Structure 1
Amino acid sequence: MRFLYPPLFRPVIRKRGTFLTWGVTKILIFIGIFLVGTVLTGTIVSVYFVVSTSLDQAYSRNARTRALAQAYEINQLLVAAQNELQYLARMPLSPESIMQHLQAKTAEERSRYKEIAFQGQAVAERFVLVNTGQTIESVAVEQILGAKFDIFSGRTQFVDKPEGHVQISDPMEAVYPSVHVQGEMSGLTMHVIRLTTSVYDADKIFKGRLTLSLDLRKIRDIISLHASRLSPLFLFPQENEHKRGFFFDASGWLLFQSESLEGAHNELSVDTLRVGLQGDIGRPGFSTAFRPAAAHNLFWEMIANVQAGVAGQTLVSGTFLSPNGRDRDLYLSYVPIVFSENAELRRVVGGIGCVDTSFVFMAATHKIASLLAFCLGVGVFLTFMAMYFIGYRITRSVRLLQEEIEQRTSGDDVTPLTVAPLFDELHQLQRPINILLTQLKIVRSDKLLQEGIREEDRMRQPVDFEAGILQKSSIDPRSSTMSLYGIVGSGPAINRLRQQIRKAARVLADVLIVGETGTGKELTAEAIHSMGHRADGPFISINCGALDENLLMDALFGHVKGAFTEAHSDRKGAFVAASGGTLHLDEIGNASPRVQQALLRALSVRRIRPLGSDKDVAFDARIIAATNIDLLQCAAAGKFREDLYYRLAVITINTPALRQRKEDIPILIKHFLDENSILTGQEPARISRGALEKLCNYPWPGNIRELRNCITRSLAFMEDDILLAEQVLFADQLPEVAESDRAPRIQDMDGGSCSSSTGCSDPVRATTAEAPRAGKWVSGETPEIVLNARQRKVWPIILRQGEITRSEYQEAVGELISIRTAQYDLRDLVTRGLLEKAGRGPSSRYLLARLSTN
């Protein structure tokens, strides 16, 4: 029993209340975390602002540097093409010499240039070489003359340019309608920037113009490289990192965008770049170009700066959208591409732009914020642990004191409270606490003693069935309906059983009663018979499990005189004897296949044939079968005939187990007490509340039969007129009887001994407390009995069963012995006084001598 803490300790160990009543640990944690958290939060916010600002500046510079690096590499590519063009102008200008020169270069250098054309003053001096990607092919001049944007267009009027002057064109799209590519003639489209210079001979006489085309995909490769993780200026790995570069001309046309390194052979495109933008598609000479509309002012500001040769950087939201505060801002860096045609003339060819659409900066700031938040959490946690440890050290003494008090209040320890070490203030409380604990112990002991006495008195009080428990039932305990032909009870289960009995009694159909052992299946059969139209007729009950096959066949079907050796007169059999009444077949599930076959025929034709007779005899008996097993499951396992089951189960009644009708246990107990009173001629015994509760709480695996036996057994141990709980003995509480005390030891022919518990053992002289004499076991003698091998093999079975038949003896020996040999062995055991014969003919049984009732 739990007790409340003494009032003195409530302020000490209280966990709730106002701030002033909080515990030391709680106050330290609250104040420490508040102060440290405030300081750390202010520090972390300041650090985050400084670091994020510095990181923003650093990342801005990195983005601009990346754009400048791309512009530098593109300029270097144009300078290399310019140098290559000037070198070719000094060579002998013929297709063979130029092809030989190109073949000497590496594949990477050779792939930069798509066209090489010389336009001499004489038509015969003109030639065009085209790089198809696999080979360098010569194209007939007449095939390209007149074509749109061909390499000679606009060059009919030669204008002398000084030697060394290289003129660069706008990016354009060149189309060759018929070029020899991979072994066949096909069209070829390429996007190039053409560089043109004047060619002079040694005498400074103008000979013509030489043009070299630079593949724009090489410029795109530079942009794509710097937008990938292989970039020389790659910042740090980031899973969702993505940068986008693009190239535009001086007029504001977007020509192409960066691609992945795997897509280096893809055609030039700006499809991704112009998503969400409005503008014009298709520039003369470049069909895939795109120019944003004038509404995109950030773009045109960039174009104006590039045309002025100024590099710059701006914040955008999306590709060319102004920041609106809702989207994160991106850096757009741009650099003009300037080409020097000569020492004095510089021309803006176009520009490159680089937009960082990755989450690098955001991820970096998030990492910084996460790290600072982690530091804040660690600081708060360490503060919490420090304050908790300090508070723990302060409150440890109080906790120890509390535990000692709880241990003494919940146990039987009455020793004085001695807790050490304690603070001096708490140490002074130990003496009054010990006084209070002693007083509580005395009060509790007195209360427990009084409660125990009251409970013991209550459990020993007799139960008043009439005014107490049975009064809760809807049926009057004195009413005759509570006991219907021995079926006692008033609960729902037993009422349903009574209704089924009444309905079955009104008809003459065969009935199958299913229920566990001890649930009153035979009483149910008798009730159906007694309430039916054949109540005046005989009621014969045959236990199919207690008889062997021959005996059961004889008991059911009878025999005629002379059917076997000892058949000196006719025997009707149970079917004929029960005519006009009821035949109860108990434990029908234990019948052998032969008996089941005979029963099926008898129930089908309502006629039987006695043993030894050649005539059928009609019978008029109602069949009520009973079983404690599931016959359908037995039929599925091949142990019972399914057709016989459906012959018997015209009406099926289930007798409820006692555990399913525990509300009837008090009624049954009163019934058995009254029944015992009638048998003994004494006043009905009374039962205490404790005994009644003990009986009601038992599971009763043996059902009503076990309850009856328990009541009878308990009344034998009753010392007064009231049955107490300790006098109630269940079957599993009885002392076990040794097997050697129930049966004698039989010495075999080899000098061994046999019993039901040990079988046959090594040769020993058996000494028992009982010896056979005149059909009884008489104390004080030691028999010496010698058995043959067959008898020695079967003797343990006889001891276990208490009886045996001739057919069972043959089956137990298992050596296909003859009937005469089996009869000889059994008569020998009868002569020795070990067995006694009961019955005649096929119904003969051999019983252990001490079990005989003769």
Structure 2
Amino acid sequence: MSKESFVRFFDTNYRLLSLIPLTQRFSYKTLASKLLITLVPALVLLLAVTGYFTYSISADFIAVALKRNIQVQNLGQAHALEAFLEDAKQDLLYAAQSHADNISLRDYLLRINRVGGHQYPFMAFISLTGDHHSFVVQHDDRIVELPARRINDISPDPMEFYEHAKELQNGSVWISPLERAQLPFPYDRNANNRLSIHIWQMVTPVMEGGSLSGFLVLAFDAKAIRDILTLYNSTASPLWAYARSSEIRFSYVFTTDGWVLFQSDDEGQQDPELSTYKLRAECDGTMGMPALDSAFRPASNCQRFWKMVSEVQKGKQGVIPYPEDVPGATFHKEHSTAFAPVYFKPSLDSPPVIWNGIAFEDRSRLTMAAGYKHVDVMFLITLAASMLAVIVIFFLSRYATRPIFKLTKAVQNIQASGKLEPIRISRAGYETTSLQDAINKMLLTMRKQMEEIHIRDMRIKSENLREPIEFDESYQALMSSSALNPLPEIQGLGPRMDTLRAEILKAAKVDVDVLIVGETGTGKQLTAEAIHNHSSRRGKPLISINCGELDENLLMDTLFGHVKGAFTEAKGDRKGAFLEAHDGTLFLDEIQVASPRVQQALLRAIAMRKVKPLGSDKEHEVDVRVIAATNIDLRHLIEAKLFREDLYFRLKVITVHTPPLREHRENLLFLAMHFLHEAERITGKDNLTLSKGALERMKSYNWPGNIRELRNCITRAAVMTEGQVIQVEELLLDPDAPNDMRAPTSSDDSGYIFKQHQDDTPYEVHPAPGREASVSSVEDASSAPAERVRLLPDTHEMLNPRQQKAWPRIQQMGSVTRSEYEELLDSQISARTANYDLQDMVSKGLLFKKGRGPSTRYIVVKDTRTGA
């Protein structure tokens, strides 16, 4: 054999050769093991296959019987509806043979009621030769005759049936579509009473002297049809023969164009409204039609329903099975829908026409019960056969397999405990002893290797995390590219920062108001300064007002000023922020906390560009660009009626979003090193850097305080460190802040905002270079602080244990006082601690303060996201 032939032979028989180790391992097993492995599974498999096929055959026959049963049930309901229509048609034709005035129609309905006939809600004769119309309305065993002049009060107008009536032959009947009827039904206490019912109306012509003199109308209630369906789905059904399980079964009537009109109701309900909720629970679709609000038209993806409609349109009946409720389930409930058309014969000589369709949805546990019973029997047979096979080989395998079981249990104990201890089994056979020795050798080798690897890994990891970080070429490129930044105030790279800088430059080019939206610490003040410094107003003042640090009266005075003598402490004139910022920019931080009074004053000042100081009779025109900032979405406050919508749209001519730090993790090292170099100048230390462990800890932190928190963390660590490398234990991060342990992805290309020095003051004037700035001092005010407005954040992680315990009860009460707060905590805290907790929840936007002194109440702020 050549070399090439041998290679081809080896490739062809590779699978057979690969089975040789398995065959060898099997040959080492004992006779008892071989018998158990071969005979018992083979016997169980044979019985399982036999049971499966016998169950499949019996289940198929049961399913066929169930389908026939529900088809008979559905046909019985269809026949009952056809009989109802035929009775109504005969009653109408019989009435057409006699005089049709109000008295005759009333007597005719009374005679039908006396003999136990159907109760028709409306009967009318519409005359075509004059105005001799007759109208009779029946409701709750009362019959009311209506004068002919009230024909206009009937909706729909009976005259609309003229087009259909004139085409009918004598003795023919036409049925209208389902309609919502408004019928006058006056009585002693209310002459204008009206009935609103859903009806079908039968129309037949009335001939007099061989010509059409009018037409007779007989209406029957849709609830009467529904009650027939309900009867056939109850224990009082004419087809009821045995008690069934409590599964959901119902019937429904549908039109030939796919509208489900109503369903049968549960037994025992007293005259419920028409509904389709059971079918709507199974498929999507369109809800409501002009004549019936509860009607339902399934969507086109409900293929079984539309197949049923198509078959009914063709005049066919049948059963459509549903798929199994649980995919892959062996035993399941039989779920099928039987359908059939409901015919109506307009006259004796005409063929029947399809009026509507009826469907009956049935669920049965019979197949499931048979399946479980079958499994029980097969289980007993399999168990008995297996026990018999085991008993046959029991005496041969008893002593041979016991050591193997002990060895298996010992290995399982090692796996559960994780201790690699040697196995000791006495009185073991040859096979068991050989396997035990091999396992013990493997355990010994594994234990030595794991100990060595663990010691080495711990040393490497500990040393590596304490080493200083290494700066690669990408970091150097980042540092170089930051020097080319067109906005030195705004640092950071990536699409997010490019977008922010582009928004700032665009906002700076046009002289319109700007709204800055961003979380706390993301640099909203800095963004406002950048817009001002790159705008046409850069040589003019920039006035900064923090609305959150001033109460309502002081904020009004700070914004608009006052004249001497405007109030007791007004010793001189004060220009106010709007006048101070004339020709420049006015920055309003935390605009969301402004009270309604302040919002109204701001709206007028921004809209008119005029202000009137307190106590002055003269308005001053101002040329001011307004930049407002907020750390929440003002649209939520607008929905909660806490912020003026017109002021919002005045401010948001241009909107600038400052991104949070957690969305810029790839620039975290760049920012940390920047703040570290800044800290070197403060502490007088040189060559400070971060360890790898410290950097990993910073990457895993969520930074709820954004850039401000990062800067404080780095500065604190630089002050506290004893060496040049800041270690992870020297980073004092907030342990209660939620961490995001996900590694940053390469797709996160956003940057950050930072400034070397940033002061947030309520009133700060930034003059142009070379000019002096006048800074107005803020006087203390005795008035009550304005109510703070906040959008409720997720409260669980931001509250201390005392607040978490009391918060659910505070939400239920709607408001709380200090003494009530102490009672919620079983008076286990002091008044000072209670005041601290309540003020803390006010600052977090959960409560707002109302009143003064002992009567002060803390009211829950409505959360617009949850409605709480």
Structure with greater Cα Rg: 1
Q: Same fold (TM over 0.5)?
A: no
TM-score band (shorter)? 0.3 to 0.5
TM-score under structure 1 length normalisation: 0.44
TM-score under structure 2 length normalisation: 0.43
